[in-house]
Structure 1
Amino acid sequence: MAVSHRAARLCLLLGRTVTSLSARRTVSVPERRCYVSTSTCSNLQFKLDERTAHSSLDLFKKDTGIIYRILGLDPSKVQDNPERFRDWAVVFGDEKISSGRHYWEVTVKKSQEFRLGVAEVLMSRDDCVGTDSSSWVFSYAQRKWFAMTSNKMVPVTIVGKPDRVGILLDYDAGLLALVDIEKPRIIHSVRAKFKVPLCPAFGLWDGELLTHSGLEEPDGLK
């Protein structure tokens, strides 16, 4: 079914993909998952998990980058499994985290609409990262940054939009931070009580993102 450009743009601004206009199906996420074993070291290394990727997202560069396709694939053409996000352009990293302090970076220069952060591994695939209590993200939309969880948006003061940003997660301290990698310094942080395994989480509604993991935390952030 053809979708007008105006309708597609409205969906993008709302953070919902065009394909989400189809009927919602409820599928439970099983406890058994095939994530990489829990990491406790600071140089966390992960790839993007194609099984979780919404049908509008394509992975590239050995599953470290994602591209948004405004119409995407027909959901019936991708493998149907409970891991996949059905209504929102979201994808998870394939590493689960239940302790430790971890750092990674994301090249964002080719996108104007995205979310970066973490989510509970068993987060509902009917929700979007940042809209429920199972995810914590930094959102960039309409040239502004926000910290998001439970659908609450807190403005983040930042000058312009860097080409690349860092994400710092301290699971035990309950800290998630957006990092200016040039200084380096923490731009904004959120506090939460993490109780279950988390994984890197990404939402994308235009352009592309490229992840960089396996990095040491920059000096001076503690």
Structure 2
Amino acid sequence: MDDQKESLRKITNTLALKNEEIQNFICCLKQSLLNLEANSNRVQEDLEGEFSSLYSTLDELKEGMITRIKQERASRTYELQNQLSACTKALESSEELLEVTNQTLCSSNADGFIQAAKDIKDSVTMAPAFRLSLKAKASDNMSHLMVDFSQEREMLRAIKFLPVPTTPEIQASDCLVCDNTVTVVWSLPEPDAKIDHYVLEHRRTNHEGPPRVREDYPWMVVEGIRQTEYTLTGLRFDTRFMTFRVKACNKAVAGEFSEPVNLETFAFLFKLDSGSAHQNLRVEDMNVEWDSCGGKVQEIKKDKGRTGSPMNSPARVAPGMSPKRAPSARVGRDRFTAESYTVLGDTMIDAGQQYWEVRFDKESKAFAVGVALRTLGKFDQLGKSGASWCLHLNNWLQQSLTAKHNNKARTLDCPIPDRIGVYCNYEEGILSFYNGKTKQQIHTFRTKFPQPILPAFMVWNGSFSVQTGLQVPSIVQCGQKRNSDASSSNASLT
């Protein structure tokens, strides 16, 4: 019994020491809670003091950081309060166990002492006090949430209005208009490292002077240009000029637009003359389709509905060129008839170099593209008289591509392209046909045109579309220069 009492006393002493440690730890936890509250308040006050010196744009950041502090405080408070509650319960349990132990030690009942001592020993062994961690699960230190806005404040004090970017100047002499593209080049009076990008605006116009208050075409905008030049591609030149202006922008403000510059966009522009079209050809703008049920009545109605839109503006040509708009109906002649399934362009060529392209249905039974004199008879088929020159696709029975003039034909050994480019140099008497995609030359007529000529087209059981407003491609011009001194291999057709 004495041994058991000694063992129980040791256990009781150990428990008492543990209770003392728990009490000390509880005091620490309580102080930590007080410190946490005080430190949290101080951090929040400091944060609010820092934010009070900043602009309202920092409010969102401020609220976010306050939320972070509150969340941190709530999280630590939760951990510490849970730990405090567990320690308090363990202490209460230990005190109750100590009281039972003392009562047992004072008992004189020897019979019940052994069993009571055994129960107390088991209870002490399982006491919650021995399962507690006496290390705080959360720190009361909130210094990691302190802020220092000294550098930011200095940065804010240094903020000034950004200077307005200087106005660029378009270098008209360096700008380039070719191949239906326009490259615009500009410069700044002095370097400006704060410029972020440029904004280029352009619009088509038929007026050479400065921009007017009312124009037929709106400004088109190109943003985010990082260099001092920009190239517009895939254009169709159906006006005399294109007007350009540019402004510089930094991160906060845009400067003034440069003085507008007009660049001449010379190109050959024409429409299809529906008044000349065979009654079986349905002409809609620049598209033509074979119509076996077509008739003159429908075409007359279509002509009446034609408007004076900018698409019907005068032809655009390079300096020195003088295409002339032909009357809507050929003087003294009706539209083409019989088997002459032909339609002409409405603009005469009597000078300069011109270029246009045509895309045709390869399944057409017959198709032809070329030029013709205005005196071409209404029964004449393209290439079958001296008044027309053409490239002819025959898709009847056997497919063939031939060059035709004055009822003479030369078969061409080349793949049939998706579209055909037509080049005409009136003074030199050159009419060349090209693969519209690769710009590979297909055939060239060399002749002397006795009078102004018109673009001419023929289709039977098929369709085609014409693209005008095109400049002579550079590759075509270069090829023509290389061949200017070479003799023609097509003399029999001229």
TM-score interval for Structure 1 and Structure 2 normalised by the shorter chain: 0.7 to 0.9
Which of 406, 410, 429 does residue 154 from structure 1 map onto?
Answer: 410
Residue equivalent to 1:129 = 382
Structure showing the higher helix proportion among its residues: 2
| Deviation sequence 1:93-135 (CA, Å, 0-9, x none) | 0000111110000011354210100000222112111110000
- 2:337 is aligned with 1:86: yes
Structure 1 residue 183 displacement after superposition? 2.4
Structure number with the bigger relative contact order (C-alpha 8 A, sep ≥ 6) is 1
Q: Which runs of 5+ in 2 are unaligned?
A: 1-264, 301-328, 481-494
Contact 2:341–2:458 at 8 Å: present in 1 too?
yes
| Segments of 4+ moved more than 4 angstroms | 75-81
Which of 257, 260, 279 does residue 55 from structure 1 map onto?
Answer: 279
Structure 1 residue 184 displacement after superposition? 1.7
Contact 1:47–1:64 at 8 Å: present in 2 too?
yes
Identity of aligned residues (%): 30
Residue equivalent to 1:186 = 441
Q: Which has the larger radius of gyration?
A: 2
Distance between the aligned counterparts of 2:377 and 2:269, measured in 1? 24
Residue equivalent to 2:353 = 101
| Deviation sequence 1:121-178 (CA, Å, 0-9, x none) | 222112111110000000000321100011111111212x222110111111111111
- Once the two structures are superposed, the pairs formed by residues 30-41 of structure 1 within 5 Å of their partners are none
- 2:401 is aligned with 1:145: yes
CA 1:42–1:200: 2 relative to 1, 3 Å: farther
Contact 1:105–1:167 at 8 Å: present in 2 too?
yes
Distance between the aligned counterparts of 1:57 and 1:110, measured in 2? 17
Q: TM-score, normalised by structure 1?
A: 0.74
Distance between the aligned counterparts of 2:336 and 2:451, measured in 1? 20
Residue equivalent to 1:119 = 372
CA 1:208–1:100: 2 relative to 1, 3 Å: same
Distance between the aligned counterparts of 1:67 and 1:183, measured in 2? 26
Matching residue's letter, 2:347: E
Structure 1 residue 76 displacement after superposition? 7.3
Which of 284, 287, 292 does residue 70 from structure 1 map onto?
Answer: 292
Aligned length: 178
Contact 1:58–1:68 at 8 Å: present in 2 too?
yes
Contact 1:42–1:103 at 8 Å: present in 2 too?
no
Distance between the aligned counterparts of 2:436 and 2:266, measured in 1? 16
Residue equivalent to 1:21 = none
Structure 1 residue 42 displacement after superposition? 6.5
Contact 1:93–1:201 at 8 Å: present in 2 too?
yes
Q: Which runs of 5+ in 1 are unaligned?
A: 1-40
Distance between the aligned counterparts of 1:216 and 1:46, measured in 2? 13
CA 1:198–1:111: 2 relative to 1, 3 Å: farther
Contact 2:274–2:299 at 8 Å: present in 1 too?
no
* Worse overlay, 176-185 or 188-197: 176-185
3-state DSSP of counterpart to 2:475: coil
Contact 1:42–1:217 at 8 Å: present in 2 too?
no
3-state DSSP of counterpart to 2:347: coil
Structure showing the higher strand proportion among its residues: 1
Q: TM-score, normalised by structure 2?
A: 0.34
Matching residue's letter, 2:336: F
RMSD: 2.1
Distance between the aligned counterparts of 2:347 and 2:297, measured in 1? 27
Distance between the aligned counterparts of 2:449 and 2:419, measured in 1? 26
Distance between the aligned counterparts of 1:139 and 1:203, measured in 2? 9
Which of 447, 455, 470 does residue 200 from structure 1 map onto?
Answer: 455
3-state DSSP of counterpart to 1:51: helix
Distance between the aligned counterparts of 1:77 and 1:46, measured in 2? 22
